[in-house]
Amino acid sequence: MSISRAILRGSELLTPSVLGDFGRPHAWSVTGIETDSRDARRPFWIDGVQSKMSWLSLPHPRFAPAVLAVDRALAWYIREVPLANQPPVSLAQAEYLGEVLAGTRPRANEHFEILVNFARTMYRIGQLDPGTPQVNLGDTLTALSLVPQSGEARWTFDARIDADAFAKLQFRETSVGIGKTRRENRDGWWSHAQKNRAFIEDVVGKTKGRGLAVILGAGHAFDLPLVELARSFEKLVLVDIDAEALNATVAGVLKDPGLRARTELRFLDLTGINGQLVQRVDEAVASAANAAEALDRLEALCWTYRLAEPPRLLPPSEHADLLVSSCVLSQVAWPQRVYAKRVYERRFSAVPDPLKLRWARHFTDLELRLQQDHLTSLAGVAEQVVLTCDVVSNGTVLDNAGIERKSGQTIFALGVPSLLERVPKTFQIEGHASWEWSRYKATRTGKGSRMDVEGARLTVTQTPHGLEVP
């Protein structure tokens, strides 16, 4: 297939919204990249073109495979896009994106859509033609996380729980809501839990080390094989922000004193920034002279979010054999937007319709980057990583015959229809599964929801020189 046809077919399959429909990914290889990771300051060449991303020489090597993938894909796109009619991302936009990622031009309002459209177009092209550079939204957001923005405040990853933020972001209420929803649809949740547990148990079987397993977002552990995990590893660490939920779970599930003795509970904030964020949202709204200024301040807050250092969930001395992030990726980044809206509306009124798109753009931008930082935090700390997540929520209704059917309304929890579009080249995808979860059942009076859930088994990618990326 010609390159221009590939770009066009990529664009045909894009919907106007950045939340359009895409398919399955394809494994990536680093062959063809002329680079020497032993000489970090040497400029490198991709397909005969010198990389513009000079800052690439500086970042933590954990990010290198993702950044290289983006650089390579951008170089390819910029060379090929003049051959395409009406491409989804124009040459000027691709060049602009390259400059934003190189840190030589500041981000602007339309930057987010260009970045997402580029990533999704390239992902689609990569599926159609495996010979083209493979890149996805996870790679592009990872690369963006390394670019300093002018005027950015320092965001320090601090996993200690901030009590004020815990209350304001309503984590306890959310946990209680999860328990209630499960009680109302036990069959649907049981079926999902069986598949989620089986996926995790399968990876346990493929894990060589038996020392330490760490489970993130363990909460109610509805979908976790806690007893099997505690039996399989010398030490089991369970992490959640909600101490009450986790204490109750462990008391109910790990009754055997031997298994309980091997289990350690850690109460942590996996984002590392909820305390800072809540404080900054409060300040932005309180100090604004009017509603327009408050919106500007919140927008700047979203744009300038960037962790000063890569997130670290375990102390440097600790290395896990298995790390599980189970149905938590979709949960780490939505309460902040809900909170900001509540604070804004309490002082002013509802965001006016013409500004809703702007609000959605900036908070989606923040949300996707917070999620990406969660994915980054999974790298380099374990032999094997299990990542499961609800990816698409399909609305359901009862038809006239009383049969539950999809209504056509979809919500993309990760901004894309496939979990694998969010997994950066930092990781090698070793296994993948998908299943459906009936979360809420539709009733005569209320809509329901069926989730598309995916699981991935990940290991850390080797660099082109065979060195493990730490």
Ligand X SMILES: C[S@@+](CC[C@H](N)C(=O)[O-])C[C@H]1O[C@@H](n2cnc3c(N)ncnc32)[C@H](O)[C@@H]1O
Question: Which residue's CB is nearer to ligand X, number 222 or number 348?
Answer: 222
One-letter amino acid identity for 92? A
Listing DSSP states for 34-87 in one string gives E--TTSTTS--EETTEE-S-GGGGSS-GGGHHHHHHHHHHHHHHHHHGGGSSS-
Q: How far is CA 75 from CA 84, 162, 202, in A?
A: 15, 43, 39
The string over 167-191, giving b where at least 16 C-beta atoms fall within 10 Å of a residue's C-beta and e elsewhere, is ebbebeebbeebeeebeebeebbee
Alpha-helical regions (H) of 254-290: 257-261, 274-287
Question: Which residue's CB is nearer to ligand X, number 116 or number 236?
Answer: 236
What is the longest distance spanned by two Cα atoms in the chain?
A: 68
> Shortest gap between Cβ of 427 and ligand X (angstroms)?
20
> Shortest gap between Cβ of 391 and ligand X (angstroms)?
13
Question: Which residue's CB is nearer to ligand X, number 14 or number 241?
Answer: 241
What 3-state class would DSSP assign to 455?
A: strand
> Shortest gap between Cβ of 182 and ligand X (angstroms)?
8
Question: Which residue's CB is nearer to ligand X, number 196 or number 426?
Answer: 196
Question: Which residue's CB is nearer to ligand X, number 88 or number 311?
Answer: 311
- What span, in angstroms and rounded, lies between the C-alpha atoms of 371 and 389? 11
Find, among 268, 269, 372, 385, the residue nearest to 323 by Cα.
385
- What span, in angstroms and rounded, lies between the C-alpha atoms of 390 and 382? 23
Q: Which residue is nearest to ligand X (CB)?
A: 219
> Shortest gap between Cβ of 139 and ligand X (angstroms)?
24
Listing DSSP states for 132-153 in one string gives SPP--HHHHHHHHTTS--TTPP
Question: Which residue's CB is nearer to ligand X, number 51 or number 274?
Answer: 274
Question: Which residue's CB is nearer to ligand X, number 221 or number 340?
Answer: 221
> Shortest gap between Cβ of 220 and ligand X (angstroms)?
4
> Shortest gap between Cβ of 106 and ligand X (angstroms)?
30
> Shortest gap between Cβ of 132 and ligand X (angstroms)?
36
Question: Which residue's CB is nearer to ligand X, number 75 or number 277?
Answer: 277
Question: Which residue's CB is nearer to ligand X, number 87 or number 217?
Answer: 217
- What span, in angstroms and rounded, lies between the C-alpha atoms of 197 and 222? 9
> Shortest gap between Cβ of 222 and ligand X (angstroms)?
4
- What span, in angstroms and rounded, lies between the C-alpha atoms of 23 and 377? 26
- What span, in angstroms and rounded, lies between the C-alpha atoms of 224 and 201? 9
The string over 315-351, giving b where at least 16 C-beta atoms fall within 10 Å of a residue's C-beta and e elsewhere, is eeeeebbbbbbbbbbbbbbbbbbebbbebbeeebeeb
Question: Which residue's CB is nearer to ligand X, number 123 or number 437?
Answer: 437
> Shortest gap between Cβ of 178 and ligand X (angstroms)?
6
> Shortest gap between Cβ of 118 and ligand X (angstroms)?
29
Tell me the angle at which helices 137-144 and 111-128 cross, rounded to the nearest 10 degrees.
140
Question: Which residue's CB is nearer to ligand X, number 6 or number 270?
Answer: 270
Question: Which residue's CB is nearer to ligand X, number 425 or number 439?
Answer: 439
Binding site for ligand X (CB under 6 A): 171, 175, 178, 217-224, 240-242, 245, 268-271, 274, 326-328, 331-332
- What span, in angstroms and rounded, lies between the C-alpha atoms of 51 and 29? 19
> Shortest gap between Cβ of 422 and ligand X (angstroms)?
17
Find, among 327, 313, 161, the residue nearest to 244 by Cα.
161
Using CA of residue 320, residue 321, residue 324, residue 325, what is the dihedral sign? positive
> Shortest gap between Cβ of 367 and ligand X (angstroms)?
13
Listing DSSP states for 246-260 in one string gives HHHHHHHH--SHHHH
